[in-house]
Amino acid sequence: MVHVDVKRLGRIPTGGGWRLHGRHAAISVANRHKTTKIGYDYVHTAIDDRTQLAYSEVLPDEKDLTSAGFLHRAMRCSPATTCGARRLLTDNAPVHRRGTNWGWVCTAWGLRRRFIKPGCPWTNGKAERFNRTL
């Protein structure tokens, strides 16, 4: 079984954030009219249940095509492909439930998708715990 999860993290601007320069630098009078959108990065994680090998990538979004590409790269470099992983456990994100490309990649690798119960993230505990250690 392969555990998959996505963690959203706020981007830190180049040169450091407000903890380095103070809050007054983040909201200066000269730049008050400008709104800079820094955005988020998404850490995609796949953990093989048998070997406990984790594969992670930091990607700019969690759209269907991006997530499907991540799953393909994770399965290509994982020993789960040689061990014969047959199941994929993931949360109920829309990209995992209804993503067309995600479904195609799962079918191509012969993975049967399993989803955790809504409101029970501890079911996917390996991936959730790995995200906490990042």
Residues near 40 by Cβ (< 8 Å), separated by ≥ 6?
Answer: 8, 9, 10, 11
What CATH number does residue 92 fall under? 3.30.420.10
Q: What is the pLDDT of residue 10?
A: 82
Model pTM above 0.85: no
Do 3 and 47 meet the contact criterion of CB atoms below 8 Å apart? yes
Residue 66 reports pLDDT greater than 90: yes
Q: Which is higher by pLDDT, 97 or 81?
A: 97
Which pLDDT band, with edges at 50, 70 and 90, does 69 fall under?
Answer: very high
Report the number of distinct structural domains present in the chain: 1
Range of the domain at 41: 2-133
Q: What is the pLDDT of residue 73?
A: 92
